[in-house]
């Protein structure tokens, strides 16, 4: 449990009334135990959100617990392939892989203590534990954090036979979902405004990070924070920057990391460095995982934040940027249009030239940039903070078994 997290601190961010409403909903859940099950306590977005969501719900008085499924390396190799295939990537998956998945699930199903009233199962790895429902009953909810709208059908059809037995499914965006014969809810991801990545920082922290990475405090800074992945289009970002740099003195920072589970990232980083050449206004930063305060400070020091991805998940980098009241220029892909309402909470782009045009608009008119940023921050406050995700989950838990009371919009 994280002793630093205190639900009361969120009153200053979303208002006392909002937290009171959460307490009221939590009250209605009294007597119910909710058991989260996922595949890891650390690393990745799901563990990150659970590590804050669970203590916050506990503080609200909800009996929420968290368990992780055990598994051999072979099982996680298979689930990683399933993950990629569900994202539409071509993977070679053998009958043995399906057997490994089922065998581990059967073993886990016999060992896990399923005490609780609502079983809240995250992502595909533990999804087949639902086979236990015929023995033990209870309400089962499947929380899908990934985009499964264009999956490899073999893997999806395999998984679907389990998913259809859940009492409800929760997806991050309507366009990430699948047709299913069970009630489906839409709950976008969220960020924690008080985490190291997003908390307010003193001006010295920004100065420190600018010095640390050799950046010019007096030049407008264009930033993209992303893993070095072709789908994040770092070369497109460099091209857009070069077009803009002809008319504006500015600097570009591509801040990212090379994931150990992504063999391509080293190669992409090399290409990016080559393309940047000896341009002293382009800074390629290979930032180690866990450097949350550095990322926070870079985002806060930026003039404009880009996310020129070719494909995206929800794009938490955009949520983080908007929360820092930054104007953003981002491609209209994945979850970005949910966050960037064009010309209101940021600028959407559809090409390199479009990105350059949008950057120029913001650099030429800082007031316009500040206005977009302020709107973006309010949009995140209303829709994409952890308090909203907690509220959504509690409402969904309360509706279980009461389908007739749900108003579908």
The sign of the CA dihedral 152, 158, 160, 166 is negative
Residue 320: CB minimum distance to ligand UDP, A = 5
**Binding of residue 176 to ligand UDP (CB under 6 A):** no
Q: How far apart are CA 272 and CA 330, in angstroms?
A: 19
Between 147 and 167, name the residue whose CB sits nearer to ligand UDP: 147
Per-residue binding letters, 256-285, with ligand UDP (x by CB under 6 A): xx----------------------------
DSSP element (H, E) containing 222 = strand 221-225
CB 293 within 8 A of CB 252: no
Tokens of 23: 């307490």
Tokens of 166: 């859940």
Between 101 and 384, name the residue whose CB sits nearer to ligand UDP: 384
Residue 255: CB minimum distance to ligand UDP, A = 6
Select from 315, 330, 349, 356 the one that contacts ligand UDP (CB under 6 A). Answer: 315
**Binding of residue 172 to ligand UDP (CB under 6 A):** no
DSSP for residue 198: T
Q: Which stretch binds ligand UDP (CB under 6 A): 22-30, 81-89, 224-232, 264-272?
A: 224-232
Between 188 and 256, name the residue whose CB sits nearer to ligand UDP: 256
Q: Which stretch binds ligand UDP (CB under 6 A): 54-62, 96-104, 242-250, 254-262?
A: 254-262
CB 101 within 8 A of CB 82: yes
Q: How far apart are CA 322 and CA 379, in angstroms?
A: 8
Q: How far apart are CA 25 and CA 57, in angstroms?
A: 11
**Binding of residue 314 to ligand UDP (CB under 6 A):** yes
Backbone angles phi, psi at 324, to 5 degrees: -90, 15
Backbone angles phi, psi at 391, to 5 degrees: -60, -45
**Binding of residue 225 to ligand UDP (CB under 6 A):** yes
Between 78 and 318, name the residue whose CB sits nearer to ligand UDP: 318
Residue ranges in 102-141 that form contacts with ligand UDP under rule CB under 6 A: none
The owner of tokens 């965006």 is 173
Residue 318: CB minimum distance to ligand UDP, A = 7
Tokens of 351: 């090409």
CB 161 within 8 A of CB 178: no
**Binding of residue 83 to ligand UDP (CB under 6 A):** no
**Binding of residue 313 to ligand UDP (CB under 6 A):** yes
Measure Cα distances from 151 to 85, 148, 310 in Å: 6, 5, 18
**Binding of residue 198 to ligand UDP (CB under 6 A):** no
Number of chain positions touching ligand UDP (CB under 6 A): 14
Residue 225: CB minimum distance to ligand UDP, A = 5
Q: How far apart are CA 154 and CA 137, in angstroms?
A: 28
**Binding of residue 227 to ligand UDP (CB under 6 A):** yes
Select from 86, 269, 302, 316 the one that contacts ligand UDP (CB under 6 A). Answer: 316
Q: How far apart are CA 29 and CA 118, in angstroms?
A: 11
Q: Which stretch binds ligand UDP (CB under 6 A): 128-136, 139-147, 251-259, 356-364?
A: 251-259
Residue 229: CB minimum distance to ligand UDP, A = 7
Between 84 and 361, name the residue whose CB sits nearer to ligand UDP: 84
Q: Which stretch binds ligand UDP (CB under 6 A): 3-11, 236-244, 270-278, 313-321?
A: 313-321
Select from 67, 184, 226, 387 the one that contacts ligand UDP (CB under 6 A). Answer: 226
**Binding of residue 67 to ligand UDP (CB under 6 A):** no
DSSP element (H, E) containing 96 = helix 95-111
Residue 103: CB minimum distance to ligand UDP, A = 30
Q: How far apart are CA 239 and CA 305, in angstroms?
A: 15
Secondary structure (DSSP) of 287-302: PPTT-HHHHHHHHHH-
Exposed / middle / buried, residue 87 (Cβ in 10 Å: 0-12, 13-18, 19+): middle
Rg of the chain taking only CA atoms, in angstroms: 22
Q: Which stretch binds ligand UDP (CB under 6 A): 58-66, 233-241, 242-250, 316-324?
A: 316-324
Residues lying near ligand UDP in the complex (CB under 6 A) are found at: 225-227, 255-257, 287, 295, 313-317, 320
């Amino acid at each position: 449990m994280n002793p630093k997290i205190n639900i009361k601190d969120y009153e200053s961010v979303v208002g006392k009334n909002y937290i009171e409403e959460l307490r009221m909903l939590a009250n209605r859940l009294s007597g119910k135990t909710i058991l989260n099950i996922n595949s890891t306590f650390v690393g990745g977005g799901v563990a990150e959100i659970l590590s804050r969501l669970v203590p916050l719900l506990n503080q609200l008085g909800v009996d929420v617990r968290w368990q992780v499924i055990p598994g051999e390396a072979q099982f996680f190799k298979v689930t990683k392939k399933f993950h990629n295939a569900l994202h539409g990537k071509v993977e070679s998956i053998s009958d043995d892989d399906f057997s490994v998945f089922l065998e581990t699930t059967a073993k886990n199903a016999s060992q896990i203590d399923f005490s609780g009233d609502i079983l809240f199962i995250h992502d595909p790895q533990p999804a087949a534990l639902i086979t236990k429902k015929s023995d033990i009953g209870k309400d089962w909810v499947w929380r899908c954090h990934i985009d499964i709208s264009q999956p490899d059908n073999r893997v999806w059809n395999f998984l679907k036979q389990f998913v259809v037995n859940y009492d409800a499914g929760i997806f991050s965006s309507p366009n990430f979902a699948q047709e299913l014969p069970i009630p489906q809810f839409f709950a976008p991801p969220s960020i924690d405004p008080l985490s190291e990545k997003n908390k307010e920082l003193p001006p010295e922290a920004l100065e420190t990070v600018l010095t640390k990475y050799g950046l010019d405090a007096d030049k407008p800074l264009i930033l993209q924070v992303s893993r070095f992945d072709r789908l994040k289009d770092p070369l497109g970002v460099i091209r857009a920057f070069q077009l803009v740099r002809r008319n504006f003195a500015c600097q570009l920072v591509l801040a990212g990391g090379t994931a150990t589970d992504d063999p391509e990232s080293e190669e992409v980083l090399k290409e990016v460095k080559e393309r940047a050449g000896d341009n002293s206004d382009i800074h390629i930063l290979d930032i180690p995982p866990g450097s949350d305060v550095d990322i926070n400070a870079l985002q806060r020091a930026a003039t404009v934040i880009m996310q020129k991805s070719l494909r995206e998940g929800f794009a938490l980098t955009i949520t983080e940027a908007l929360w820092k009241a930054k104007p953003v220029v981002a491609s209209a892909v994945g979850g970005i249009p949910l966050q960037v309402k064009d010309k209101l909470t940021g600028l959407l782009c559809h090409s390199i030239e479009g990105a350059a045009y949008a950057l120029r608009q913001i650099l030429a008119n800082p007031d316009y940039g500040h206005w977009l940023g302020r709107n973006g921050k309010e949009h995140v406050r209303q829709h994409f903070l952890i308090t909203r995700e907690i509220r959504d989950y509690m409402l969904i838990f309360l509706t279980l078994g009461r389908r007739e009371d749900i108003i579908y919009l």
